[in-house]
Amino acid sequence: MKSSVACARLLVGTLLGVLALSAAAQTPARFADNMAERTRACTACHGEQGRAGPDGYYPRLAGKPAGYLHNQLRNFAQGRRHYDLMTRLIDPLSDDYLGEMARYFADLQLPYPSPTAANTISAERLARGQQLVTQGDASRGLPACIQCHGARLTGVQPNVPGLLGLPLDYLNAQLGAWQTGQRKAHAPDCMAQVIQRVPVDDLIAVSSWLARQPLPADTRPAALAPQTPPLPEAWRCGSAPELNPTSAGAKP
């Protein structure tokens, strides 16, 4: 009798073990060991694959220059940009890991949505925005946006972001942050110096024009700095040394 009970228990235990192993083999791992999984905290706000959040305030990450993305993560970590959630998310991470994250998003070449800006603005103000973007304002000594951000406004490798494909609300928020000193970059901070010379109405004209522009077929950042005269010494960019007149990459 005891022998039969023992055999029965052994048989049940063996069957349970086989079932457990079979279930484990059929259940996929919950998380893959790759950067797409590790950056889910990023894409929860910035949209699937970093395509941009739905509310207009969380910008696109996919396809931006890796150096620019890395600089922005450093700016949050080092207090030049202020958003508590971002700071807390990246505070435990090493600079090397921040660079790895930046390269991951930079390598994602995904299609952009069509522009959706629908704010009411006159044709005259839009023309003023286009002028500032493409020609600058000599009377204020302001360079054109294309002089740094590229002729196609898709950015320049490795550190200059594109200006197209960004929601109007995000553009307004960032230009306002530059103007009020809430957003900063590595010194010398050329963006702060430029934006603080631009009247608010002109900033709105710039953001409104940019947010209405379709992207070119090739949305990748330009490989080289624009073929224009180098920026004056007063507009040196600590975050983009390739644009500086004294850098090796500057064009004569």
Among the candidates 106, 136, 169, a domain finishes at 106
Verify that 95 and 129 share a domain, yes or no. no
In a domain, 113, yes or no: no
**Phi and psi for 68 in degrees, rounded to 5?**
-65, -50
Q: Please indicate, yes or no, if residue 14 is contained in any of the structural domains.
A: no
pLDDT on residue 117: 83
Tell me the pLDDT tens digit for each residue of 166-179.
999 999 999 999 99
User: For the chain, what is the domain count?
Assistant: 2
CA distances from 214 to 43, 62, 136 (A): 24, 17, 21
If asked whether residues 129 and 175 sit together in one domain, one would say yes
The verdict on 141 and 227 lying in the same domain is yes
* Residue 42 structure tokens: 């990023």
Is 22 part of any domain? Answer: no
| pLDDT interval class at 208 (50, 70, 90) | very high
pLDDT of residue 12: 39
pLDDT at 75 (0 to 100):
95
Task: Look at residue 6 and tell me if it is in a domain.
Answer: no
pLDDT at 15: 40
Domain hosting residue 58, numbered range: 35-106
Identity of the residue numbered 155: G
pLDDT of 3 > 70? The answer is: no
Per-residue pLDDT tens for 130-146? Answer: 999 999 999 998 999 99
40 plus 98 within the same structural domain: yes
Same domain, 90 and 144: no
In this predicted structure, what is the pLDDT of residue 16? 41
**Based on the domain organization, do 159 and 238 belong to the same domain?**
yes
Peptide bond into 158 cis (omega under 30): yes
Residue 3 lies in a domain: no
Asked whether residue 110 carries a pLDDT value surpassing 90, the answer given is yes
Q: What percent of the chain has pLDDT over 90?
A: 71
Average pLDDT value for residue range 73-102: 95
Residue 45, in any domain of the structure: yes
User: What letter does residue 155 receive in the DSSP assignment?
Assistant: E
Same domain for 94 and 188: no
